[in-house]
Structure 1
Amino acid sequence: MLRALWAVVKRELIIFIRYPTWVVAIFIWPVLFPLPYIFGGKALAGPNQVGMVTFSRLTGMSDYVGFVAIGSLLWMWMNMVLWSFGNHLRNEQVRGTLESNWLSPLPRIFLLAGAGISNCLIQSAVIFISLLEFYLFLGVKIQGNPLLILLVLLFIIPSIYGIGLLFASLVIWAKEVNTMVFLVRGIMMIFCGVSFPLTVMPEWMQVVSKWIPITYGIRAFRLAYLTKKGFEAIKGDLLILGIFGLIFFILGILAFALSERFVKRKGTLGVY
């Protein structure tokens, strides 16, 4: 089974590097994406940047550029997982390989597990490149402990890929995931404080944000990366991320089992 799992991982990595524009994009988007929010924030801060005083008071951080860059990085990570890993089985349908792979003598969840591992490897490279470019082009420096930053990333993974697993499972019978991806990433952009402090939102929006796992991931990563507050400042966020990750993984596995049963009963696995 491990050989089959590795075969899926290897195949996805080969497909990725076969399209050079995909590789080039991971060097371009990390710098381009946060720029509108960075320049917009500086413009709204006024000619003397007096608005930055209010920003520092609300967030406890002085690096606005780093604040936006970190938020945009995690949003891009979630977005790319939803599109690639979340749409993996649909891509198999389009290629015409889903039915033959489905008949292979291994747990079908391995088809998603291999895609998840390959996507995680690619996204690890994206994160490293992004943080390097933030330093080189935006002047964002690490203020905290690198090991603590790595710990936060490890706690974010279950939540992000749990949501991706749920999406990938549902697309078996839904046949189309675009609308849901647009909806979810839009909600995260607005409610998770990607480019602004959560405290400026109305109270009801702050309540909604507490039910979205990436909110805690963004906050914990910012604290670990841009401040020296240490583990005590983020342990609560890590605990909540762990709980959300477990919940979404269970929901994703259940959704996959239900979707598998649905396509067996209806005979719609190969229906385009």
Structure 2
Amino acid sequence: MTAVLSIFKKEFRIFLRYPSWFISALIWPIIFPFGYLFTVKALSGTDAQSLEIFSNFSGTADYVGFILIGTTMWMLMNTMLWSFGTSLRTEQIRGTLESNWLCPVPKITLLLGYSLWQIFSSFVYLLISIIEFKLIYNFRFIGSPLLSLLIIILSLPSIYGIGFIFASLVMWQKEANSMVFLVRGIMSLFCGITYPLAVLPNWMKSISNIIPLTHSISALRSVISAGATIGDIKSQIYYLIFSGIVLMILGFLAFNLTQKKVKESGSLGHY
């Protein structure tokens, strides 16, 4: 825990050294869904027929909340891939990974420290997003905020399990950009970020049902926009718990395998 908290403290101090980074947390919640919302308005026309069709597919007429929830969860995944997923690679580029690796602590604490910081920054981003959504987009909470928070907490193990796997692969392959684009592209295509999954062909639905983010977004939309209870979304809750356990185990295994690989090849500090 001392090592984990030290890494958290280090990341927090770096953040304070460059406070302009905070501006992005204020801007992205506004501008990212902006394009989707106005594209929807432009394509739907002036009558109410499109809204009725959307409601039949999605189960809600609140298309603004539908898109805001989807894009926010996608942004959390995207941020995790860019920052947490490339954290070890960033240490390599800085030239500090080898010295940190020599510390007499379990090497997994490096990633656990980054994940603690990322969770903290993600909840700050969520808080800012909710405030700005309310002020700018008139975002409405119909269901329970506490149940929504529970869904987000249960989504974290699967999100960071993917992050552990991703960070390990990046440390091994020494390249991040193409992998980030691939993973986030798959998420945006299959998880129903901006459209109901009902419009997808069956083979795509089968893939989307495997991805935990799909269940996180679906459960949040059901609770926030339709007022669903925990009994209504229990299947999604169970899947998030199951997928979180599986992906965290796979993440730890991937890290241990990568640690062994770079140790054998002597490539830990290679650029």
Query: Could you tell me whether the CA contact under 8 Å between 1:145 and 1:228 is conserved in 2?
Result: yes
Q: Secondary structure at the match of 2:46?
A: coil
> Partner of 2:82 in structure 1?
83
1:64-79 to 2 correspondences below 5 Å:
64-79=63-78
Partner of 1:121: 120
8 Å Cα contact 1:17/1:23 also seen in 2: no
Distance (whole Å) between structure 1 residues aligned to residue 15 and residue 210 of structure 2: 33
Q: What is the root-mean-square deviation in Å for CA atoms of aligned residues?
A: 0.9
**Most deviating of 217-226 and 79-88:** 217-226
Q: Which residue of 2 aligns with 1:16?
A: 15
Question: Partners in 2 of 1:232 and 1:12 — Cα distance?
Answer: 39
Give the Cα–Cα distance (whole angstroms) in 2 for the partners of residues 110 and 158 of structure 1.
16
Distance 1:91 1:229 in 2: 41
Give the deviation of 1:256 after TM superposition.
Answer: 0.6
Question: Which residue pairs with 1:254 in the alignment?
Answer: 253
How far has the Cα of 1:18 moved from its partner? 2.0
Distance 2:170 2:17 in 1: 25
Aligned-pair identity in percent equals: 47
Long gaps (5+) in structure 1: none
Distance in 1 between residues matched to 2:245 and 2:164, nearest whole Å: 12
Q: Which AA in structure 1 matches 2:141?
A: I
In structure 2, stretches of 5+ residues that fail to align are: none
Letter paired with 2:68 = A
- Letter of the aligned partner of 1:14 in structure 2? R
Give the TM-score normalised by the residue count of structure 1: 0.97
| Paired residue type of 2:18 | Y
Asked whether 1:50 is paired with 2:23, we answer no
The range that moved more, 116-125 or 218-227, is 218-227
SS at match of 1:65: helix
What is the correspondence of 1:140-219 to structure 2 with a 5 Å cutoff?
A: 140-219=139-218
Partner Cα distance (2:15, 2:250) in 1 = 28
Shift of 1:4: 1.7
Query: What's the offset of the Cα at 1:49?
Result: 3.3
Is 1:130 paired with 2:129? yes
Q: Distance in 1 between matches of 2:48 and 2:21?
A: 37
What is the TM-score when the length of structure 2 is the normalising length?
0.98
Cα deviation 1:199-221 (Å, max 9, x = unaligned): 01111111111111100010011
For residue 62 of structure 1, report the CA deviation from its aligned partner.
1.6
The corresponding residue for 1:40 is: 39
Residue type of the partner of 1:119? Answer: Q
SS at match of 1:152: helix
Other-structure match for 2:28? 29
- Distance in 1 between the 2:198 and 2:15 partners? 40
Asked whether the 8 Å contact 1:42–1:49 carries over to 2, the reply is: no
Q: Who is 1:107 aligned against?
A: 106
C-alpha separation in 2, matches of 1:227 and 1:25: 31
Give the letter for the 2:247 counterpart.
Answer: F
The amino acid across from 2:241 in the alignment is: G
Tell me whether 70-79 or 14-23 shows the greater mean CA deviation.
14-23
Q: 4+ residue stretches of structure 1 with deviation over 2 A?
A: none
Which residue matches 2:234? 235
